Structure 1
Amino acid sequence: MSTTIPGAATAEGSLPTQRGYWGTVGYRLRYDPVTLFFAALLLLIILSAIFAPLLAPFDPYQESIIRRLKPPGFRGHMLGTDELGRDVLSRLLHGGRITLLMGMVPVLVATLIGGGLGLVAGFAGGVVNAVIMRVMDVFYAFPSVLLAVAISGAMGGGVGNGMIALTLVFIPPLCRVAETATTQVRNLDFVDAARATGAPLRLVLWHHVLGNVLGPVLIYASSLTSVSVILASGLSFLGLGVKPPEPDWGLMLNALRQAIYVSPLVCAMPGIAILLTSISMNMLSDGLRSAMDVRS
């Protein structure tokens, strides 16, 4: 599949540049300043979490009663201190590692499992489709937030159980998107032609179906990442995710909420981190959706 980019000729009289589908997606993203800005912001957040041990100015676990709830700038504490006198900036940097891990890994695993199930259900049809999709409908009967809380609570909380709960929540919608896209593709002419030539089923799925299903699934998965970060923070806020004294944005919000009238700016820092991460992921998802829309 190739796309002609208007105005891409390099010399007078030469033919316009021919780009493949993914080359066109990259070309559109490169000239989308809003998407690039939020992609850079998200990359900065991820890198700051990865290199938190090198960037954190203080030990995120070090407590000091005499430095409780100090404002930003107090004795080198750029974002102030929390209810136990710990440096907020250091805890935000370290907390981003767990929050982003709990937010991204479940979506990745759910994309592999849900996308695979949707691909099989959509291509096979019949009884296979009915069985898989009815099982997915059972999960659809519950709101995602309540389902995540119920599964995590039943499993006892913790980072691992929270990630399992979020994965189970995201599998059904990703499966539905993959199944819908596969159903639309499986009866197209090029798929029928591949079958008529006697191509093995795995090759038909890999070369002809998956490439057309991958785009919608990736776009939807990218939009779920921001939801996953918020849900992961929510589980920690409710005590079903990260356990104290480990730093986590949701856990920090829960611990600081009682001091909101004493030091509101310090209490808002974890929420601001969650907000910036969620907005960056949403804007990146919107930019990716526009770039992958072949009709535009």
Structure 2
Amino acid sequence: MSTAVSDTAAPDAAELALPTQRGYWGTVGYRLRYDHVTLFFGALLLLIILAAVAAPLLAPFDPYQESIIRRLKPPGYQDRYWLGTDELGRDMLSRLLHGGRITLTMGILPVIIATLIGGSLGVLAGFAGGVVNMSIMRVMDVFYAFPSVLLAVAISGAMGGGAVNGMIALTLVFIPPLCRVAETATTQVRNLDFVDAARATGAPMHLVVRHHVIGNVLGPILIYASSLVSVAIILASGLSFLGLGVKPPDPDWGLMLNALRQAIYVSPLVAAMPGIAILITSISMNLVSDGLRAAMDVRS
């Protein structure tokens, strides 16, 4: 009886840290398998993304259809307005679904582009060192002189606002920190014994970087990039809230929050829904990022 219980019990800390038996990524997946918090919020985040992608199929109404007689209708099952209507009588569920597509795109796409650009520059600066390192990192330090929120607002405002300009602004904001993380990780790896051994064998420099450096710095870069997605979602919503992001009548969670702020005393639940969507998505992304960081830390 005791043997059956021990076979089905969750592994202890010593069993979770066995990289020699499963390999690095196998160990990461094994740890995530028993991290129920990360799995739950990862599934919730995946559900949010799938709902946003399938918004045209799931939305019960046209998100742009207005009706003054239906304005600020409370949530309920009457007439299929499950989450009520906004200040112009548009279905809130439909606008939240379609708004998720825009908000998530403005949160994820800039981080992906910034990871590619900033990560490449950081690896180049860390591996080359010397003048190359100084030139790249001093340019990155110029961006560090400005708070990220003010820099995003300034760049987006100077470019005239809009969804595309907002994504460009967020990309420029996230390149310096990602470059810094990549440069720090590469500097630590380039002087390790296996890199020196690869150089001693006469391997071409690009192969050394590809097989021995990038593989060892990719983890920290991806972990940090995943933590920036929630920041990007909040910043993108903030830009739209200030009128520097998505323009009306396109649905966006930040823009919807701005439009409904005057209805907070009339229909508080409807007015709070875009903010709740931003909060749930950001918390889910943060917890998933923390879980990935813990699973990928081979020293834990």
TM-score higher than 0.5: yes
Provide the aligned C-alpha RMSD in A.
1.3
Counterpart CA distance in 1 for 2:170 and 2:15 is: 45
- Say if 2:31 is the partner of 1:28: yes
Confirm whether residue 167 of structure 1 aligns to residue 177 of structure 2: no
Residue-by-residue CA offset, 1:177-235 (whole Å, 9 max, x unaligned): 00000001111111101000000001100111111111110110000000000001111
Using the size of structure 2 for normalisation, the TM-score is: 0.93
Q: Distance in 1 between matches of 2:92 and 2:173?
A: 31
Say yes or no: does 1:239 pair with 2:243: yes
Offset, 1:6: 5.5
Going by fraction, where is helix more abundant, 1 or 2?
2
1:145 and 2:146 correspond: no
Map residues 80-159 of structure 1 onto 2, 5 A cutoff. 80-159=84-163
Residues 1:264 and 2:268 aligned together = yes
Looking at structure 2, the residues matched to 60 and 159 of structure 1 have their Cα atoms a distance apart, in angstroms, of: 18
SS of 1:75's equivalent? helix
| In structure 2, distance between residues paired with 1:17 and 1:177 | 27
Q: Are residues 1:72 and 2:53 paired?
A: no
One-letter amino acid matched to 1:36: L
So what's the TM-score if we normalise by structure 1?
0.94
Matched, 1:280 2:280: no
Q: 1:161 to 1:7 in 2, by over 3 A?
A: closer
Structure 1 SS opposite 2:203: coil
One of 13, 36, 59 as aligned partner of 1:56: 59
Provide Cα deviations, 1:27-82, integer angstroms capped at 9, x if missing partner.
11111100000000000000000000110111111111011111101432111100
> What is the number of equivalent residue pairs in this alignment?
285
What amino acid maps onto 2:71 in structure 1? R
Q: Which of 35, 38, 42 is the matching residue for 1:39?
A: 42
Q: Which segments of structure 1 move beyond 4 Å, counting only runs of 4 or more?
A: 5-8
* 2:224 pairs with one of 220, 223, 227: 220
2:193 to 185, 189, 192: 189
CA–CA separation in structure 2 for the residues paired with 1:53 and 1:211: 39
Deviations 1:146-172 (A, max 9, x none): 000000010111111110000000000
Cα 1:130–1:279 change in 2 (3 A) is: same
1:17 CA drift (Å): 8.3
Q: Deviations over 1:101-128 (max 9, x none)?
A: 0000000000000000000000011110
Distance, in Å, in 2 between the alignment partners of 1:243 and 1:6 is 53
Query: For 1:259 and 1:272, how far apart are their aligned partners in 2?
Result: 16
CA drift of 1:7 comes to 5.3
Structure 2 equivalent of residue 12 of structure 1: none
The percentage of counterpart residues that share the same residue type is 85
Aligned to 2:9: none
Q: 1:255 to 1:7 in 2, by over 3 A?
A: closer
Q: Does structure 1 residue 290 correspond to structure 2 residue 294?
A: yes
1:198-209 aligned at under 5 Å gives the runs 198-209=202-213
Separation in structure 2 between the aligned mates of residue 143 and residue 230 of structure 1, nearest angstrom: 15
- CA drift at 1:89: 0.5
